[in-house]
Amino acid sequence: MIVKSTASISDIDTRSVYVSSRSCDHYPGGLEAWGTDTGITFNRNIESWRFNRKYFDYAVTNPAYLYGTIERMQEYFKEMQGYWKELGSDCVLDLNAWIYHIASDIIFFNTTGRKFHFMAKYFNVLSTGKKIDIEDSHITEKIFKGFENAFKAIFFLITTHSLLRHTIYRKQNKEHLKAQDQLRRLLCELIQERRKEIENTPVDEPLKPDIMNLLITANTERDISHNTNDYLNRPLTDDAIQMSLFESIAASTSTSVAAFIFVVEYVGRHPEVEAKIRTEINSFFSDNPNRVVTYGNLNEFKYIEAVYYETTRINTAVPFMFRTNQREDVIAGYRWKPDTQFVVNYQAPHRNEKHFTDPEKFIPERFINDGSDEKGTFKKAFYPWGGGLHICPARNIGLAYVKMLLVLLYRNYEVKLVNADKPIQTYHDFITQCADTRAYLKPI
């Protein structure tokens, strides 16, 4: 069943009976390698899902994590500026690629507490002169390719029926399963390495609040989550940690990059919006040019936030989601048997004139008044992060991440898109993304 009405979407998203993002019954041999009772994205076991979701929620809402991410972004952006300067002011930059690499650097560090130098690796590919010496460069390449290949593999495995995978697409199936297995081994090595580090760290010495430490120490004597739930009283297995690491990295990187790039594309085609963004940024720094942007004061960029919301309304990064009911239920006036798969189309109400005036037009102002347009449909028909139990746990840091990057970009550069006079080119796998975002950046 394909669900498009806001009432039906609300029914599915707010009922705990819908605990699965995807029914895997007809896709044997695909996601079983990861396990359908680990992580949160594909987990069909409600108790296991609650267990993993609890720790993921804690990780991405921890103040040290939130404030540290915004501080780290500014450091990494300066590093990226240095690479851009080396390439020359007349160089056309592939913003999609650059933002993907800086996002990977930040999110991998937040997750593992380790820097993998993805931006430096990308700079070395582009530079015809200066090269950056990267420590353990072979590990950087293995990790980057491992996630890239595994992400493609999971998309193939959950969207291709087993009959096709074992006949017509047999070769591709074998390659994708191999890629998935290779990433699992890489993650296992990282986890075992970190376990040894924790064992060798004195008990009275605090551990870094990265996601890997949180997951490994959960419900152990070194637990840094301050867990108070009696029913969540067991440590996580390595399999569960592997899936959680993959989800936190793959999902966070792709969605944040897609959202940021779409904002740049729309702003580049609406100079009046860009002018308002620059006015808001200048106002923030008017009294003190050296004022530090923190996670706390990012809330002052109201117009930039409205631009983000309007962009995600028109181009929702994850426009569809899957839900599977555990027991018989009535949705949209029909009775559905257990294990029925529902395809939830979040994009449909976003572009429906019943909910938004002139839905095809880019009007950030509709989100200025506490996130409500003149029809007050922000909460009723706007699903940028999904909804209900399965709402994106990293939505707050995801929004802050995009806002911070926009402040850094438009405060420091004039941005001229190469294809600003042409329609935005997109493609879709798990996520709707821009196909070509090249730009000239002129320092201000």
Q: Hey, which residues does 432 pair with through a beta bridge? A: 428
Half-sphere exposure of 224 (CA within 13 A, CB side): 21
Taking the C-alpha atoms of residue 26 and residue 404, their distance in angstroms, rounded to an integer, is: 42
Taking the C-alpha atoms of residue 223 and residue 205, their distance in angstroms, rounded to an integer, is: 13
Q: Hey, which residues does 335 pair with through a beta bridge? A: 330
Residue 392 annotated as part of some ligand binding site: yes
Q: Radius of gyration (Cα) for the chain, nearest Å?
A: 22
What crossing angle do the helices spanning 137-159 and 238-268 adopt, rounded to 10°?
Answer: 90
Give Cα 253 distance to the centre of its chain.
Answer: 4
- List strands edge to edge, sheet with 438-443: 93-94, 438-443, 413-417
Annotated binding site for heme: 392
Annotated binding site: 392
